[in-house]
Structure 1
């Protein structure tokens, strides 16, 4: 056939026909058994009458002769646009190789140039599957201090590790390794997968992947009994110096949330919510062993300590001013991972116990009625708030004062505060006719400390109501922040009240306050009390070298705020500056809902601020670094 091929090629050239446009076999299709589809050139098929196909570029009207192993086996069926197919009429024999060619005939019946040769290998039914790709599952290190499996991309100091994986049972697995340093692939050797499909290959002899340190990538090629092959994905390791292959993954797990369990002072240990007269109490808690415990008040870091091997820790705070303090703690392990903040631990520092007395002198027989919500600020420091004036049973006995008495009306409720917390309160009280009224004592967190039932008042022989005395002393770790008079079925009168051991008045009046409010200054001020000289557009400055507390409400902030003065974010903004240690108290309805949220720091006008955004309003409060911010209910 070779002489015919040469003559036909010359004939095609002589005739002016482009030999590149002659017939070719484009594909051979298998339609039998489990593996159906195209058969690769030199591939395997169990279809003994496979379908050959192609396309004649010169279109219809041609004649195409088909050869198999140099023997004419028929002529192709040529369809529209020159597409042709051929299926052998006689089945091929399994287990043999067959070379197919097609040759285009000219109009005189002469053969032109033959097509490409397309070789297939026939098999028994369903024996034509290609080999499945093997998988490298492990590279095992046998050398040095760190032995065992080496993860993909891991380190090894073993010059002859073992490479293992899976393949089809009986497949021959050839293991190769590529050196990124040498840019060369080395064939290491072959093994046979066992009946379960497992195989392993250990480098040996002169094979050495640590001679050149760096990245080495293993691959495996599986060849089945039919001779078909497929290769695995690469498995890379990094060769390093002896014992430099510690593959322990970095510790990225933060410690458990620490706890603050108690505060300790000279009176003992107390839980959250306690009051102490120690301005530098010791906090005690538990954290991950040997971790660094950082203690915060609000967002301010106070200091740190190290947890003992059993996890216990203690930290003595810097001097804290009188008032409420809210602490949290974090734990940082040796890898630098930091835990979430602990639950809040709240304490009240009371180093100066408020004291005073009020017998309602000067009231005389002047009669006054109080509506619900009324506030009566006494010169003694006593503040009375009428929570409910009472008179809900039609008895016409609301909250009043008369005859040097303050009287809570029928079913009324009055709140008595002392300017500061105190540890002792004494009252002289009368409640005629009935005995269902109560005195209630509360700490600074609003926890009820004690309830006293008021006895029915007895009229003495002179025709006057006789008072009964009631007193309460807070236990260690507690203080009295306010008292409620809860009247029952009849009005309840307070003739005299005293608290603490001695009268306490402020010894220093801040220049921040307006002259009208300076008389009643007790270290806590409202925005309305700050003198205009300490205010500017959207800014309040409480700097006066005195430790101050500025009490703010959302309405206060909205009344003074302006948009985009410090941060260009479209929000209303108010900035507060002051002395180191000054406190800004934000009034919120519910502490649990985290109404004001810390959104980060900003520098404006050379001053660093912490920015707090209100969750329900388009407003921000900027607090100068060094000032403390407390959210209070």
Structure 2
């Protein structure tokens, strides 16, 4: 606490009428006072008066009120990172991949405080918490594709900062999803090897081979029937072998160039429908 008073006098400082301490005024009329011991958390109503060198006492000053708060706020509660782009829109969890380069962060925190959003310790931005405890933050610029380690902290009006939330690992990937069904392989009987388009095989569980985006989940259908799924390898390759025998049938030929079981997608020469999902994005091709 600092102020001015009669030179060489003494200033007495009060809280709610109770003496906190005194300070000596220098010959230029300046004084300062630091409470000892330190003030406890709470609300204070400070006044002061001055006594000159002959013992005359001034009137008290007006009240200077403030609150001491040394308690850090709690961490963000119910932290939600939301994908708002593409086929999948909704909450993201630790380890997910999103095609949304400006995901929305939201949650609950101490009213009137400020939430800071970080990536690996680097500040992305801040959000003011409303009187209802709600806050929301969306990056003003798109996040480049890559891996992110998101955390948040809360800073209250007094400047106390609480603990960070646990790291949420999210990958931003806005590149397109690709999938190819390259071949079916016969591994049974006298004739083995690649099956020609619209060909015939005695292998009721042929290996289905293709390429796609690493980490994508490939779903393989026979017509509208899901045969199963597999994950694309790091080298872009994938393969799938049915776990049950495929039924016998004649090859199907469509003059309109579309597969009636997979609308709005080009017909595969192999007659197999592939649905693929890349952790946060969905599409259908085959």
* Match in the other structure for 1:276: 98
Of 51, 60, 66, which aligns to 1:212? 51
* Match in the other structure for 1:242: 61
* Match in the other structure for 2:84: 265
| d(CA) in 1 for partners of 2:242, 2:108 | 42
* Match in the other structure for 1:231: none
| Alpha-carbon distance change, 420 to 252 in structure 1, aligned in 2, over 3 angstroms | same
Structure 2: where are the runs of 5+ without partners?
1-12, 26-47, 53-57, 196-209, 233-240, 251-269
Of 136, 159, 175, which aligns to 1:352? 175
Q: How does 1:378-457 map to 2 (within 5 A)?
A: 403-404=193-194, 418-420=212-214, 422=216, 425-427=218-220, 439-440=229-230, 454-457=243-246
| d(CA) in 1 for partners of 2:214, 2:136 | 29
| d(CA) in 2 for partners of 1:278, 1:404 | 39
| d(CA) in 1 for partners of 2:150, 2:59 | 49
| Alpha-carbon distance change, 454 to 296 in structure 1, aligned in 2, over 3 angstroms | same
Tell me the TM-score normalised to structure 2 length.
Answer: 0.50
Measured after TM superposition, the shift of residue 460 of structure 1 is 6.4
Q: 8 Å contact 2:100–2:174 — kept in the other structure? A: yes
Q: 8 Å contact 1:457–1:468 — kept in the other structure? A: no
Measured after TM superposition, the shift of residue 146 of structure 1 is 5.0
| d(CA) in 1 for partners of 2:128, 2:220 | 49
Q: How does 1:128-167 map to 2 (within 5 A)?
A: 147=16, 154-155=20-21
* Match in the other structure for 1:293: 115
Tell me the TM-score normalised to structure 1 length.
Answer: 0.25
Q: 8 Å contact 1:287–1:331 — kept in the other structure? A: yes
Q: Number of aligned pairs? A: 196
SS of residue paired to 1:329: strand
Q: 8 Å contact 2:145–2:171 — kept in the other structure? A: yes
**Which protein has greater RCO, CA pairs closer than 8 Å, 6+ apart?**
2
Measured after TM superposition, the shift of residue 148 of structure 1 is 6.0
| d(CA) in 2 for partners of 1:417, 1:280 | 29
Q: How does 1:196-235 map to 2 (within 5 A)?
A: 210=49, 212=51
| Alpha-carbon distance change, 268 to 425 in structure 1, aligned in 2, over 3 angstroms | closer
Structure 1: where are the runs of 5+ without partners?
1-143, 157-178, 182-208, 214-238, 368-396, 406-415, 430-436, 443-451, 462-466, 481-498, 503-633
| d(CA) in 1 for partners of 2:97, 2:275 | 16
* Match in the other structure for 2:4: none
Root-mean-square deviation (Å): 4.8
* Match in the other structure for 1:316: 138
| d(CA) in 1 for partners of 2:163, 2:110 | 12
| Alpha-carbon distance change, 284 to 291 in structure 1, aligned in 2, over 3 angstroms | same
Q: Which structure carries more helix by proportion?
A: 1
| d(CA) in 2 for partners of 1:240, 1:262 | 58
SS of residue paired to 1:320: coil
Q: How does 1:181-192 map to 2 (within 5 A)?
A: none
- Structure index of larger Rg: 1
Runs (4+) of structure 1 exceeding 6 A deviation are: none
Of 242, 253, 264, which aligns to 2:71? 253
| Alpha-carbon distance change, 269 to 307 in structure 1, aligned in 2, over 3 angstroms | farther
* Match in the other structure for 2:6: none
Q: How does 1:396-545 map to 2 (within 5 A)?
A: 403-404=193-194, 418-420=212-214, 422=216, 425-427=218-220, 439-440=229-230, 454-458=243-247, 469=272, 471-474=274-277, 478-479=280-281, 501=285
